[in-house]
Amino acid sequence: AQKVTQAQTEISVVEKEDVTLDCVYETRDTTYYLFWYKQPPSGELVFLIRRNSFDEQNEISGRYSWNFQKSTSSFNFTITASQVVDSAVYFCALSEAENNFNKFYFGSGTKLNVKP
């Protein structure tokens, strides 16, 4: 079974629209970390956020915000007022205490196309 599921394969929006990228994870651990990475067309993965399982506070960073809900095992990512430069593949990832946080499980990614 997939440990991290990103059900949205590809999303297209028009600039200035808000968009939410879904991430659902599966773990038996009570201690784990969740991550979001951005992979622009250039290919290099860029770290966006890390969240541990004990911190359910939502986080906002500029136009980016993250909604962590343990009750639904989700860690969704919202981009407000999207821009063309946001076009990329976004990956959600999980690491668990069970593996001493040494293994990362990545979702299959969501490709975001922001059109002008």
Q: Which residues bind other proteins (CB under 8 A)?
A: 33, 35, 37, 42-47, 50, 52, 91, 93, 95, 97, 99, 101-109
Cα three-residue angle 78-102-100, rounded to 5 degrees: 105
Total residues found in the chain within this entry? 116
- For residue 65, the minimal CB distance to other proteins (Å) is 19
Query: Which residue lies nearer to other proteins by CB, 7 or 14?
Result: 7
- For residue 41, the minimal CB distance to other proteins (Å) is 13
Query: CA 104 to CA 88: how far, in whole Å?
Result: 20
Query: Which residue lies nearer to other proteins by CB, 80 or 108?
Result: 108
- For residue 52, the minimal CB distance to other proteins (Å) is 8
Dihedral in degrees, nearest 10, Cα atoms 10, 107, 89, 61: 110
Query: Which residue lies nearer to other proteins by CB, 19 or 91?
Result: 91
- For residue 16, the minimal CB distance to other proteins (Å) is 28
Q: Nearest CA to 78 among 86, 33, 44?
A: 86
Q: Which of the 8 DSSP states describes residue 54?
A: T
Query: Which residue lies nearer to other proteins by CB, 16 or 70?
Result: 70
Q: Do residues 47 and 77 make contact, with C-beta atoms less than 8 angstroms apart?
A: no
